[in-house]
């Protein structure tokens, strides 16, 4: 998987990962589609590494690209996550994140966009669809929802923001260089927040493999920027309800949810399927709120079959 990095219109460094198929360029190559997946909170693009390192998925995507044309996959790091720099001012909603995604799309001349995301990534994908509905060829919504925060949820997010800001005071001018790891190690309130979130994110089956996944999830969370987390919490608290957006979207939608997702449970995903005009719902067994990360093999099968059957025929007819 290759890395990308560029300076956006506000002089932020935006980074991420990407793949292009077929792996060996063909002189007769035509454009098919581009898939862009946005990561969950509070993570970065590495939540998609278990999926994109799959030899079977790479082989299948390569074979599909040889038939229908160039396929590209993009996995950006949102501002303040991974190696992307945080916003310079606090967002009040998801609009600044939508702008970042739009700049990535323009930068790489992305066409026939299939946009998706997990959790917060799904919120952003839906908000992007609300702003630019005609740009999308399809949408993938993983362990997410269309509803905005209620007042209690907003208050909880803002309380967490205050805790992080209070914890950051002891670092003074060094704020921009620290990670959640340092706050986790020195502040019980931050440790409790991260441990509680990890507990909610992971599925409840206490096996050795699940324990390893839980540790990996904890490590990913502790690698993020506190300011990135603050900005994301405030933006999610101020986000729009996108139920009408999903209802009016007339392209194919793939909805995926973990069978043990306690944050956005199966009932929410089922309701989203009813709302959408043309949606498929897939439930991944023994997975929590990061269903693609907890069970990448099953997720990859679902993703490829949906891309091949729901998206590729329409696009290949246009370009071949």
pLDDT in tens, 27-52: 556 888 999 999 999 999 999 999 99
Mark whether 140 and 31 lie in a shared domain. yes
Residue 220's Cβ-count burial label (10 Å; 0-12, 13-18, 19+) is buried
Could you say which DSSP state residue 308 is in? I
Residue 27: what pLDDT? 54
Determine what percent of the chain is predicted with pLDDT higher than 70. 93
Residue 76: what pLDDT? 98
Domain range for residue 78?
2-148+241-319
pLDDT in tens, 225-254: 999 999 999 999 999 999 999 999 999 999
Mark whether 204 and 297 lie in a shared domain. no
User: Last residue of a domain, which of 204, 234, 264?
Assistant: 234
How many domains is the chain built from?
A: 2
- pLDDT exceeds 60 at position 192: yes
* CATH of residue 83: 3.40.50.1820
Mark whether 81 and 166 lie in a shared domain. no
Match 């362990």 to its residue by tokens. Answer: 143
Could you say which DSSP state residue 86 is in? P
Mark whether 144 and 155 lie in a shared domain. no
Mark whether 117 and 61 lie in a shared domain. yes
User: How many Cα neighbours within 13 Å face the side chain of 317?
Assistant: 6
Determine what percent of the chain is predicted with pLDDT higher than 90. 82
* pLDDT, mean over the chain: 92
Residue 87's Cβ-count burial label (10 Å; 0-12, 13-18, 19+) is buried
Q: Over the range 288-319, which residues count as b (16 or more CB within 10 Å of their CB) and which as e?
A: bbbbbbbbbebbbbbbbebbbebbbeebbeee
Mark whether 135 and 255 lie in a shared domain. yes
Mean pLDDT, range 186-194, rounded to an integer: 96
User: Last residue of a domain, which of 234, 258, 278?
Assistant: 234
Asked if residues 77 and 320 have their Cβ atoms less than 8 Å apart, the reply is no
Chain centroid to Cα 95, Å, comes to 16
Mark whether 19 and 36 lie in a shared domain. yes
Q: What is the pTM of this model?
A: 0.94
Asked if residues 139 and 254 have their Cβ atoms less than 8 Å apart, the reply is yes
Residue 111: what pLDDT? 87
Mark whether 215 and 245 lie in a shared domain. no
User: Last residue of a domain, which of 234, 251, 266?
Assistant: 234
Residue 130: what pLDDT? 95
Mean pLDDT, range 253-273, rounded to an integer: 97
Q: Quick one: tokens of 81?
A: 């996550």
Mark whether 130 and 90 lie in a shared domain. yes
Residue 258's DSSP bridge partners are: 284
pLDDT in tens, 63-82: 999 888 899 999 999 999 99
Mark whether 265 and 193 lie in a shared domain. no
Contacts of 265 (CB under 8 A, 6+ apart): 257
Mark whether 141 and 266 lie in a shared domain. yes
Q: Tell me if residue 270 falls in helix, strand or coil.
A: helix
Mark whether 245 and 292 lie in a shared domain. yes
């Amino acid at each position: 998987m290759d890395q990308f990095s560029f300076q956006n219109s506000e002089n932020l460094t935006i980074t991420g990962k990407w793949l292009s198929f077929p792996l060996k360029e063909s002189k007769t190559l035509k454009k098919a589609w581009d898939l862009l997946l946005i990561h969950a909170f509070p993570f970065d693009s590495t939540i998609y590494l278990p999926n994109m390192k799959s030899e079977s998925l790479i082989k299948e995507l390569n074979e599909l690209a040889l038939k229908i044309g160039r396929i590209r996959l993009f996995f950006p790091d949102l501002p303040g996550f991974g190696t992307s720099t945080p916003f310079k001012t606090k967002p009040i909603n998801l609009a600044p994140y939508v702008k970042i995604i739009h700049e990535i799309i323009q930068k790489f001349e992305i066409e026939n966009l299939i946009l998706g995301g997990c959790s917060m990534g799904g919120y952003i994908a839906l908000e992007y669809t609300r702003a630019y509905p005609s740009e999308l060829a399809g949408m993938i919504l993983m362990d997410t929802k269309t509803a905005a925060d209620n007042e209690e949820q907003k208050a909880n997010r803002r309380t967490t923001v205050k805790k992080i800001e209070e914890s950051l005071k002891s670092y003074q001018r060094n704020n921009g260089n620290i990670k959640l790891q340092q706050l986790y190690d020195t502040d019980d309130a931050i440790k409790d927040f991260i441990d509680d979130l990890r507990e909610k994110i992971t599925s409840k089956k206490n096996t050795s493999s699940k324990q390893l996944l839980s540790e990996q999830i904890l490590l990913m969370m502790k690698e993020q920027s506190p300011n990135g987390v603050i900005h994301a919490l405030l933006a999610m608290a101020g986000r729009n309800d996108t139920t009408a957006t999903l209802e009016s979207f007339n392209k194919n939608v793939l909805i995926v949810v973990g069978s043990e997702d306690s944050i956005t449970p199966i009932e929410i995903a089922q309701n989203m399927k009813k709302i959408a005009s043309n949606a498929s719902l897939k439930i991944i067994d023994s997975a929590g709120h990061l269903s693609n990360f907890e069970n990448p093999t099953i997720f990859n099968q679902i993703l490829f079959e949906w891309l091949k059957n729901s998206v590729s025929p329409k696009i290949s007819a246009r370009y071949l």
